[in-house]
Structure 1
Amino acid sequence: MQREVTLPRRRLLLGVTAIIMSVGVMFTVALRKKAAATPTMDWINETIDGLHYAVLLPANYKSTKHYPVVLYLHQYDMGNYRNGLLKQVEAWFGTSAFRTRHLAIIIVPMLDQIKDPKANFGGKHTGHAWKDATIAALKHVLEQYSADPARIYVTGNSMGGMGTWDMLLSYNARIGSNDHFFAAGMPLAGRHQTANPVEAARVLRQVPIWAIHGAQDAEVSPEWDRTMAKLLSDSPTFRYTEDPGLRHDVWDSYYMRTDVWDWLFAQSSAYETSRP
């Protein structure tokens, strides 16, 4: 009898101990993940028209200089994890190599897709496009800091790649239908779901664009980019890279490449003497 009573108790104690240890391990892992997602750069956090966004100034920023500006548009869901998003982009914009080579102001708008699951930056069939608020954030930064108006760029991946196409159509420095901001753009794994590609090609024929897509992308089809590449095959300002070995996450490879950023920062709208 004594054994029969003692054995279950021992098992119970061992079980409770295992659970406590398991919870402890999970808690430790969670803490490590949280710590790993903590941004290390001096981001400036702002909100405008209900949109939260973060700004990273170049090292040793001086108001007497004029800096290029990069508007970065994130992929779906990342705006819900602000620290994780900033930590992600620090791998591209926060390295000493990037910050030494390209003194630039970086703007990262963050969509709350917990509150609004269909929120997007534009270029999609459905959902609330936060394009106006994103442009308001850009304007606010241009008012606050010393920027080079001829070197304002937009880039983004996945949902942000769709937004990049949309921003380029509406706000390119050449013949944008709205304000003329962007000297060039770089959409990664993106497409436009509502624009007519023939009309889009007409609007963007002289706008510097480097579109990048993975040939094996099963989430966002490369067909839009392939169509634009055909329609703009005679344009000296359009580039298309379709990587045969990559799927959707092309940004993990291409945002780490020096030549990609060198190309973008070499573009300028200063050649224009007039705008329509």
Structure 2
Amino acid sequence: MIRKIFFSCLFLIGFFVARSQQTPEKFVQVTNYLLYLPDGYSQDTTVKWPLILFLHGSGESGHDLEKVKVHGPPMLVAQGKKLPFIIVSPQTPDPATGWEPNTLYWLLQDVKEKYRVDPDRVYLTGLSMGGFGSWTLAIKHPEEFAAVVPICAGGDTADIWKLRNMPVWGFHGAKDNVVPLARGQAMVDALRKYNPSTRFTIYPDADHNSWTVTYANDSLYQWLLAQKKFRYTRGTADPVILKACVGRYADEHRDSVQLFLAGDTLKATTHNETVELKPAAANLFYIVDTKPESLQFILNKHGKVEAFLFYGNTRLIFKKYQ
């Protein structure tokens, strides 16, 4: 397991080599969506634009894209409002199946390939069923988004830690009798343990329709534009901390990793493969600045390193035993 976690890039190289030996084929997934290009998009072909991926509620499902225009950003631009974003508003055919995150992920990749999207300013939002879809997609692919805005929605808190670096602003009506306020509150409370800056606006007199006032508020779009995709920033590690981190660690499955110093650089090795751990904060190290993988060292009451938390595709505790 640890080998897969720390050296996934090597597996990807092997995957693509193997893939190159296969017969080329094509699979097409049809997803209908509305596309809005902002004023000025065609005038300067060097400019990249922020993008909003909007997910509608269950009532707008089907095969008629006009239904998607009844709420949210698609409604606003259909009414003539100018927004400085590329806006992609897909339609799911069946409300019973909801939003499928893999389909949305590949739709997003296709849009980024076809249009001049700023990869550091991709935003995700949705209402009701689309709010649930927003939570799910953001948790599955936090590397894709600069911020997420779920409206009147809940979700699964099991992997909410994956949004620890994600700007999140949730909205809910206190009198919502379709998706109770407690569902949204539970997501926010769980996330704030990892991301204390998470925002949550509760409208005391609103019912399930808390989206109309939200999307009509220009401050939401100003807030979005102020958010950029999280990247780790390399700092300078305290030599005392570096030395304290050296040792062998193992997780509950007895997968182990050796941490050692090469000069003033902390490195991790397993199975004769090595990666550099770059300092971001006092006890926090990362591997690649654009990836979510990081190591948070845990100190005991005497200030000695006793373990580290590894955040990647999974969250693991590695205890120091040497």
Q: Are 2:142 and 1:142 aligned?
A: no
Q: Are 2:99 and 1:104 aligned?
A: no
Deviations 1:124-159 (A, max 9, x none): xxxxxx222222111111001111110001000000
Q: CA RMSD in A?
A: 2.0
Structure 2 Cα separation of the partners of residues 212 and 87 of structure 1: 19
Match in the other structure for 1:78 = 60
**1:172-251 paired onto structure 2 within 5 Å:** 172=142, 180-192=143-155, 195=156, 197=157, 199-233=158-192, 235-251=195-211
**1:51-90 paired onto structure 2 within 5 Å:** 51-61=31-41, 62-80=44-62, 81-86=64-69, 88=71, 89-90=73-74
Give 1:160's match in structure 2, choosing from 130, 136, 151: 130
1:86 Cα deviation from its structure 2 partner? 2.6
1:49 Cα deviation from its structure 2 partner? 0.5
TM-score, L = length of structure 1: 0.68
Q: Which structure's residues are more often helix, by fraction? A: 1
Match in the other structure for 1:42 = none
Structure 1 Cα separation of the partners of residues 230 and 173 of structure 2: 32
The alpha-carbon distance between structure 1 residues 238 and 132, as it changes in their structure 2 partners (threshold 3 A), is: same
What is the number of residues matched between the two proteins? 204
Greater RCO structure (CA 8 Å; 6+ sep): 1
Q: Are 2:76 and 1:92 aligned?
A: yes
The alpha-carbon distance between structure 1 residues 231 and 270, as it changes in their structure 2 partners (threshold 3 A), is: closer
Q: Which amino acid aligns with 1:256?
A: A
The alpha-carbon distance between structure 1 residues 168 and 59, as it changes in their structure 2 partners (threshold 3 A), is: same
1:260 Cα deviation from its structure 2 partner? 1.3
Structure 2 Cα separation of the partners of residues 87 and 74 of structure 1: 9
Structure 2 Cα separation of the partners of residues 63 and 94 of structure 1: 24
Gaps of 5+ in 2: 1-27, 234-288, 294-322
1:237 Cα deviation from its structure 2 partner? 3.2
Structure 2 Cα separation of the partners of residues 72 and 251 of structure 1: 12
* Residues 56, 107 of structure 1: 8 Å contact kept: yes
Structure 1 Cα separation of the partners of residues 37 and 205 of structure 2: 35
Runs of 4+ in 1 over 4 A off after TM superposition: 94-97
TM-score, L = length of structure 2: 0.59
Match in the other structure for 2:309 = none
The alpha-carbon distance between structure 1 residues 106 and 227, as it changes in their structure 2 partners (threshold 3 A), is: same
Q: Which structure's residues are more often strand, by fraction? A: 2
Q: Identical aligned pairs, as a percentage?
A: 27
Structure 2 Cα separation of the partners of residues 95 and 151 of structure 1: 25
Structure 2 Cα separation of the partners of residues 227 and 254 of structure 1: 20
1:104 Cα deviation from its structure 2 partner? 1.1
Structure 2 Cα separation of the partners of residues 254 and 210 of structure 1: 11
The alpha-carbon distance between structure 1 residues 97 and 271, as it changes in their structure 2 partners (threshold 3 A), is: farther
Match in the other structure for 1:252 = 212
Match in the other structure for 2:236 = none
Q: Which amino acid aligns with 2:31?
A: L
Deviates more, 1:151-160 or 1:216-225: 216-225
* Residues 205, 238 of structure 1: 8 Å contact kept: no
* Residues 215, 243 of structure 1: 8 Å contact kept: yes
Structure 2 Cα separation of the partners of residues 144 and 233 of structure 1: 36
Match in the other structure for 1:8 = none
Gaps of 5+ in 1: 1-47, 122-129, 173-179
Secondary structure in 2 aligned to 1:51? Answer: coil
Structure 1 Cα separation of the partners of residues 91 and 192 of structure 2: 34
Secondary structure in 1 aligned to 2:38? Answer: coil
The alpha-carbon distance between structure 1 residues 149 and 59, as it changes in their structure 2 partners (threshold 3 A), is: same
